[in-house]
Each structure stands twice: as structure tokens, then as C-alpha cells.
Amino acid sequence: MTTPIRIAVVGHANAGKTSLLRTLTRRVNFGEVSERPGTTRHVEAVDLQVDGAAAVRFLDTPGLEDAVALREHIDALDKAATPPERIRLFLQGPEAHGVFEQEAKVLRALLEVDAAFLVIDAREPVLPKFRAEIELLNACARPLLPVLNFVRDDQSRETAWKELLSAYGLHVVVRFDAAAPFVGAERELYRDLATLLRDRRAQLDRVAAALDEESARRRRSADKRIADLLVDAASMRRTASAAEFADPSTRQRSIADLQKSVFDKAQRCADDLIALYGFREGDAAEAALPLLEGRWAMDFFHPEALKDAGILLGKGVAVGAAVGVVADLALAGLSLGAGAALGGAIGGAVSQGLGPLGRKLVNKLRDVHELTVEDRVLFVLAAWQLELLRALEQRGHAAVDRIASASGEPVAAARQALADLVRAAQPARSHPDWEAGARARWREAPQRQALVADVARRVPGAIEALDTHRAR
């Protein structure tokens, strides 16, 4: 059995070490993430699983707090000893259990691993303490791969950091923003690590391949979950008698109940997507998601929500959304009055397979109104969930900013792709029994499963169209 590759994650306090590990391992519960200095006080291990076994074992270490003083102390030890020997002499002395206890934990872990990631907050100025840290870590004689964090920030000093690292022989540098990981950043991280650990190249290649496979599976699950929401919402149908609907308070209550049901279904879908991508509701402040902070107030039936979502039907025209009363339909051009005179025939037509059209006519004869969710609401639901999915795929666990909603008019391709999703879900309107939980012992029909699969196949195209819109 292949032993896991052991990687120590080291660096100055609050450089983003724990956040990086949460992003790499999809373990949102690992460690504690906080803006307080020195949050990690002990060495903690977390495994990256591949095919049910630990492929990489990461060691999250405390931040180095007083590297300058420690370097001076170690330099004063046996001058004839090699740098690693002086590190071991220090670890055997009383200072390793006293004033330099935190630094000792880091160096002890570094001596026991195959390599280390040196996490650097690229926003920090290049100060003497950071030079001292690099010298201490290099003294352990372990392959060291610098990981520049927060490089997308306006305050990034990436160039200065690369110059410093090169001065210490660290020419292989990974750009990995834990707040918004670059596409393919993990693959690059393990590829660069393979240049330092050549005897582990095959194992690291397998890790990279497994991450690609996991990403594809996760995306398929997300596509299906969004498709299921659209089919579920399209199938929703509530009935009310004419007398109930004529009473304003009763009518408003019926509409509000359906609105809440739609809202709850959308929130459950969002929660499922968030969990699927390894986040959690109410995570540490630095990991809060936008559409988490604001989603409890998100009302898909409120004009302001539509404006925020940036969903436009045409140039300058915001799509409205409301629960609508299903339009009365006529059969083969007959007026509703004529239909009433043929009540018995219509009832027979329903029993002979006229289906939803006949049901609507029978309901009219019975003075029954039907409430359903308008296509415009489905349009907004689709756009909101797709925006959330795109944000989750591009978000790390060190992000603190809110994800901005799309603004302006989507390009024609984006509008068309969203409309195609809604159109694909239309067959569900004829099957109110397809609403999840519509009955006490609800069981998904094979036809519903097939429709969800069909809608899910269209989700990647819709996201691609939205990406094109965002890139402009």
C-alpha cells in the first residue's frame, strides 16, 4: 500500500494556511479560520482521500511568531553543525519548550515530512521577519514550495515576493488565491510539487486526475439539482374555489402560501449546492458566501430581487415575477359557455385522455381556480441558482467579499440559454403529482426522472452563456 505524501503547510501567522487546506481538501470543518492572529496553536493533520485512501497528508502548523530572534538563537549554536543539525540541537534544548514553543512545533513537523508549502500573504510587505522565516525553513533541508496567496488583491506585492524567493533559490512559485482559486490551480499545485518530489510523480499525477474526476461528478450533481428545482417548481399547482379566490384575504393567503413554497424549495436547492461544494451555512466570517448573507431576504417575487438578479427580458425591461392564475383555455375554439353545455362530454374527454387541458375546463365548470408559478419566476430561479453555482466553483474558503449579482442586460445567448432551461421544464406543468412531497408517499416517476435529466443536460450550456456574458 502506498503511503500518503506528507506535506507541512507553513508560514507566517494569518497567511491563510488553514483556509488553503480547507479549499484543497473540501473539508470546511477542518481547523479554525479567523482573523485573530495565531489561531492555529497546534499541528493538525488532514488527509486528502483518493479512491478511499489517504493520498496526501497535510499538516497544518502554527504561524511563525518570532523568526528573527529564533534565527539568531540557532545561529549561535554549534558553528560546525549543518543547518539541519542546528535545528535538531535547538529542538532538544529548553527554549523549544519555552519561549520558542510555537516555532519548535513548526520545525519539528517540517523535519518529518516529504515537502512543505510555504503560504505567503502576497499583500504583506517584504519585511526582515519574512527573510528570517525562509532561512529557518530552508535550514530543515526539505523541498519547499512557496504558495502566493491573495495575489488577486489590489494590494498584492507579488513581484517583490518573487524577487525575494528567487534570492533564496526558490524559483518554483505557485499562485493560488485561497479566496478565489484560479481554474486549474490545484492541478498546477500538484504538478509543481512533482518537480520537487520526482519519486512521487505517479502518485501526484493520480491525485490531479482524481481531482478532475471529482470536479466532474460534483458538477453533474449540481446540474441535476438545479434541474430538479425547475421541474419541481414548474409542476407546482394549487387550487381554490371561486368563492375563496373572490375573497381578497383568502386569495392573498393562497398566493403567499405558494410563494413561500417556491422560496423554500429554492433555499433547499441553494443549501444542497453549498454543501456539495464543501461550504456550510454560517461558516467563519471570512468564508461567508454572498448569496448566503442575503439569501434569507431574497424574494423571487419582489421586483427589487429581480432587479438585483439583473434578469432582463429585453433592453431596459426587467422581467416581472408573480404567482399567476392559470389562463382559462377553450377546446378546439369552443367558447367556455359552449364547453359548459358539453359538461358531460368534457368529463368523458378527460377520462379518455384529454389530460391537463380537460382538467382545466372541468375546474372551470366547478368554479375552481388554479395557481401555478409563472415562467418568469422560473427564469429568475434558474438565473439565481446558476449564479450561485458559478460562484461556488470559483470560490475558496478565504473569501470575504460578497459575490456581485450579474448586472446589465445579458447577451442574447445567455437569455436564450436561460429561456431554454425554462422551456425544457414545461412538460412538468401537466403533472402536478411530480412536485416533490406533493403526496404523503411521494415517489418519483420515471418520466419525471427523464425530464430532470434532459433539463440537467442543458445547464452547462446556460452557464457557458453566462460566463460569456460576464467576460464581456
C-alpha cell at 465: 452563456
C-alpha cell at 28: 470546511
Query: Would you say 170 and 144 are in contact if contact means Cβ atoms under 8 Å apart?
Result: yes
The per-residue pLDDT for range 3-50, each reduced to its tens digit, is 899 999 998 877 878 778 877 776 655 443 333 334 445 788 888 888
Instruction: Give me the numbers of helices (H) and strands (E) for the chain, helices first please.
Output: 18, 11
pLDDT at 374: 77
Provide CATH 3.40.50.300 ranges for the chain.
5-196
3 state DSSP class of 365: helix
pLDDT at 136: 92
Q: Is 272 exposed, middle or buried (0-12, 13-18, 19+ CB in 10 A)?
A: middle
> Which residue, 392, 386, 346, 396, is CA-closest to 366?
346
Which helix (H) or strand (E) segment holds residue 324: the answer is strand 323-325
C-alpha cell at 375: 415562467
3 state DSSP class of 61: coil
3 state DSSP class of 114: coil
Cα 169 from Cα 375, distance rounded (Å): 60
DSSP 350: I
Query: Would you say 46 and 27 are in contact if contact means Cβ atoms under 8 Å apart?
Result: yes
Which one-letter amino acid corresponds to residue 219?
R
Cα 200 from Cα 441, distance rounded (Å): 52
Q: Is 345 exposed, middle or buried (0-12, 13-18, 19+ CB in 10 A)?
A: exposed
Query: Would you say 180 and 399 are in contact if contact means Cβ atoms under 8 Å apart?
Result: yes
The per-residue pLDDT for range 164-220, each reduced to its tens digit, is 999 999 988 888 776 555 556 777 888 889 889 999 999 898 888 888 888 889 999
Cα 412 from Cα 403, distance rounded (Å): 23
pLDDT at 300: 54
> Which residue, 40, 50, 56, is CA-closest to 7?
56
C-alpha cell at 322: 408573480
* Strands, E assignment, 281-375: 312-314, 317-318, 323-325, 368-373
Cα 425 from Cα 453, distance rounded (Å): 10
pLDDT at 84: 92
The Cβ of residue 44 has, within 10 Å, a number of other Cβ atoms equal to 17
Query: Would you say 98 and 125 are in contact if contact means Cβ atoms under 8 Å apart?
Result: no
Task: Tally the C-alpha atoms within 13 A of residue 225's C-alpha that lie toward its C-beta.
Answer: 23
Domain 5-196 matching CATH 2.60.40.10: the answer reads no
Weakly modelled stretches of the chain, pLDDT under 50: 30-40, 282-299, 305-306, 308-322, 324-355, 357-358, 361-362, 365, 398, 400, 402-409
Cα 314 from Cα 408, distance rounded (Å): 11
> What phi, psi does 341 have (nearest 5°)?
-70, -20
* Spatial CB neighbours of 150, under 8 Å, sequence gap ≥ 6: 16, 121, 122, 123, 156, 177, 178, 179, 398
Task: Tally the C-alpha atoms within 13 A of residue 118's C-alpha that lie toward its C-beta.
Answer: 25
Sequential DSSP letters for 6-42: EEEEEEBTTSSHHHHHHHHHT-TTSS---SSTT---S
The Cβ of residue 256 has, within 10 Å, a number of other Cβ atoms equal to 12
Which helix (H) or strand (E) segment holds residue 275: the answer is helix 248-276
pTM of the model: 0.71
C-alpha cell at 42: 497546534
pLDDT at 253: 84
